Structure 1
Amino acid sequence: MQDDDVLTVKELAAFLKIAEKTAYRFASEGKVPGFKVGSAWRFRKSEIDRWIAEQEKRQEGQEK
């Protein structure tokens, strides 16, 4: 999978190892970076990777 790939909700859920419903909820609540094509959510892998890194930094800051 390349960084410029675009993921569907199903692919995002598999990538993050979460339920599809959870991935959809995160997207609709703005918790993960995504965009809509018509009524379907899409996610750039590079933005998801950056979001994961931000989450890790945020958790490290809370543990100190």
Structure 2
Amino acid sequence: MVTKITEREVKKINKDEGMEKVDKIVDIKDDEIMTVGEVAAYFKVSEDTAFKLVENGEIPAFKIGGHWRINKNELAKFMDKLKDGKGGNIGDD
């Protein structure tokens, strides 16, 4: 996700806050939020399976407006643990 800002908006950013605001705009792209459906497609599993993994706390997630959301960076950390053998297998009880 890339956020576009106009030249006018750029001029409004003052010197003290300028770099901080630009950094936040860049961070939006890096901290992409995924839906359960997107996670299911990413792992090539059914949405039901992805939902159960989220509900059971196996995949780190949070709710917004009653809908589960997954931070892509947190999902990457979770996958790294699986690759290192520290997280067990997905779906194990």
- Where on the TM-score scale, by shorter chain, does this alignment land: which range? 0.7 to 0.9
Note the residue ranges of structure 1 that are not aligned, 5 or more in a row: 60-64
Counterpart residue number, 2:81: 54
Greater RCO, CA 8 A, separation 6+: 1
**Residue 41 of structure 1, CA deviation:** 0.3
Letter of the 2:76 counterpart: D
Q: What is the TM-score when the length of structure 1 is the normalising length? A: 0.83
Question: Does residue 65 of structure 2 align to residue 38 of structure 1?
Answer: yes
Letter of the 2:72 counterpart: K
SS of equivalent to 1:33 = coil
Percent identity between the aligned chains? 36
The answer (yes or no) to whether the contact 1:32–1:51 under 8 Å persists in 2 is yes
What is the CA RMSD across the aligned residues, in angstroms?
1.5
Mark the structure with the bigger radius of gyration: 2
Note the residue ranges of structure 2 that are not aligned, 5 or more in a row: 2-28, 87-93
The answer (yes or no) to whether the contact 1:3–1:44 under 8 Å persists in 2 is no
SS of equivalent to 2:85 = helix
Structure 1 segments of 4 or more deviating over 6 A? none
Aligned length, in residue pairs? 59
